[in-house]
Amino acid sequence: MILTGLLFVAVTAAVKHGAQQLPAAESAFLRYVLGLVFLVPMIKPLIAARLTQRQKKWFWIRGFTHSLAIILWFFAMTRITIAEVTAMNYMTPIYITLGAALFLGERLASRRILAIVAGFVGALIILRPGFRELSDGHFAMIGAAMFFSVSYLTAKRMADEVSATVVVAMLSITVTVCLFPFAFAVWQPPTIEQLFLMFVVAILATAGHYTMTFAFAAAPVSVTQPVVFLQLVWSVLTGAIFFAEPADGWVILGGAVIVAATTFIAIREAMLRRALKGETP
């Protein structure tokens, strides 16, 4: 999880450096189209899955919402600090928990409700509305976290029906296709350096997802989730050293509150799953 945090911060740093002169939609499209090379090993299981029309529909819904999230995330990265992007992205699990209760019928116990409230308090600490002017980057990041939550909820639904490989492969395909019209509308010829950086982003993001998967398989969520906070530490250091972004104590505090809330939710969910299986928590 420590390596995962470093990889994802490297992704944000590469995007911030390489996407400043490109439209957000084009940067996002280049990241995904260049990353299609990693799809090659997934072709065989994807064909063997024989997806139904209903499954394809849900995958395209996920692809579209994930595309909107990616565009907003790339845009936010060029407008606000790396630390703010990282901290506000921590809200995604909060939105997922709310969405699961509203649309998937999952029960919200009082302690999970308190954790959700704590998450929103953390977001308010980061944004501090009324105490400073909020930029379009802040609003874009709020939207990105919300659309990411819709994407992950859809993935959760489909993961019960098909393998993880198929879920990842369909995301790569649908997002690339959905991003194309947005990118085409604002297209400008990228430089060799920009193409190279977007390919680096694809490599780093893929590696980050793999290391995160290995971490989840190797240790319980009570161990892996708190380490997520280190990603905010790396973000603050990266922003300060490479982009001259001042460290903001309110962002760090708000991020810590959100991570504490999402950690509590994750641990409670793990305990409930063990209880359902008849295991001792």
Residue 107's pLDDT band, with cuts at 50, 70 and 90, is confident
Other Cβ atoms closer than 10 A to 175 = 25
Q: What's the pTM?
A: 0.86
Per-residue pLDDT at 276: 67
- pLDDT value at residue 155: 85
- Confidence class for position 85, pLDDT limits 50, 70, 90: very high
User: Poorest-confidence range of 128-132, 144-148, 168-172, 219-223?
Assistant: 219-223
For position 281, what pLDDT does the model report? Answer: 45
Q: Percent of the chain beyond pLDDT 90?
A: 54
Per-residue pLDDT at 268: 77
Residue 76: how many CB atoms within 10 A of its CB?
Answer: 28
Task: Measure the CA–CA gap between 61 and 263, rounded to whole angstroms.
Answer: 28
Q: Is it the case that residue 21 has pLDDT exceeding 90?
A: no
Residue 1 has pLDDT above 70, yes or no: yes
| pLDDT-wise least confident of 94-103, 178-187, 254-263 | 94-103
| Chain mean pLDDT for the chain | 88
Comparing 18 with 61, the larger pLDDT belongs to 61
pLDDT tens digits for 192-203?
A: 999 999 999 999
The pLDDT, as a whole number, for residue 167 is 87
Instruction: Give yes or no for residue 68 having a pLDDT over 60.
Output: yes
pLDDT at residue 87 tops 80? yes
Residue with the bigger pLDDT between 123 and 218: it is 123
Q: What is the pLDDT averaged over residues 12-24?
A: 85
Q: Is 217 a residue whose pLDDT tops 90?
A: no
Position 37 pLDDT exceeds 80: yes
Instruction: Specify the pLDDT at position 280.
Output: 44
**pLDDT at res. 222:** 65
Rounded average pLDDT over 107-119: 87
